[in-house]
Amino acid sequence: MPISTSIFLDILRFTAACIVFLSHVTEHNFNAVWPWVPWGHEAVVVFFVISGFVIAHVVSGRERDYREYMAARLGRLYSVVLPALALTAVADGIGRQIAPELYAAIPADHPALRLLINGLFVQQNWNLTVIPLSNGPFWSLGYEFWYYLIFGAAVLSTGRWRYVLPLLLCLCAGPRIVAYLPLWLLGVLAYRACRQWHPPRHQQRLVQAVCAAAFFGILAFGSPLAPVRQSLAALYADDFLPIGNFRLFVGGMAQLPEDMLMGILIALAIASVRGDGGWLAKSERVVGAIRYLAGATFTLYLFHMPLLYLASAQLGPDRSSRLQTGLVAVLVFALCVLFSHLGERRVHFFRQQFRRLLGHLPERAPTQ
pLDDT at 367 over 60: no
Q: Is the pLDDT of residue 88 over 70?
A: yes
What global pTM score does this model have? 0.94
Q: So what's the pLDDT on residue 359?
A: 84
Mean local confidence (pLDDT), 331-353: 96
User: pLDDT band at 198, cuts 50/70/90?
Assistant: confident
pLDDT for 366 beyond 80: no
Q: What is the pLDDT of residue 277?
A: 61
158 pLDDT tier (thresholds 50, 70, 90): confident
Give me the mean pLDDT over the 88-105 stretch.
Answer: 97
How much is the mean pLDDT over the chain?
93
The model's pLDDT over 270-285, given as tens digits with 9 standing for 90+, comes to 999 977 666 666 778 8
The full 3-state SS of the chain, as one line of letters, equals CCHHHHHHHHHHHHHHHHHHHHHHHCCCCCCCCCCCCCCHHHHHHHHHHHHHHHHHHHHCCCCCCHHHHHHHHHHHHHHHHHHHHHHHHHHHHHHHHHCCCCCCCCCCCCHHHHHHHHHCCCCCCCCCCCCCCCCHHHHHHHHHHHHHHHHHHHHHCCCCHHHHHHHHHHHHHCHHHHHCHHHHHHHHHHHHHHHHCCCCHHHHHHHHHHHHHHHHHHHHHCCCCHHHHHHHHHHCCCCEEEECCEEEECCCHHHHHHHHHHHHHHHHHHHHCCCCCHHHHHCHHHHHHHHHHHCCHHHHHHHHHHHHHHHHHHHCCCCCCHHHHHHHHHHHHHHHHHHCCCCHHHHHHHHHHHHHHHCCCCCCCCCC
Q: What per-residue confidence (pLDDT) applies to 280?
A: 64
Residues 224-280 have pLDDT tens digits of 999 999 999 998 888 998 888 899 999 889 999 999 999 999 999 999 997 766 666
pLDDT, tens only, 26-62: 999 999 999 999 999 999 999 999 999 999 999 988 7
Pick the residue with more confidence: 281 or 171? 171
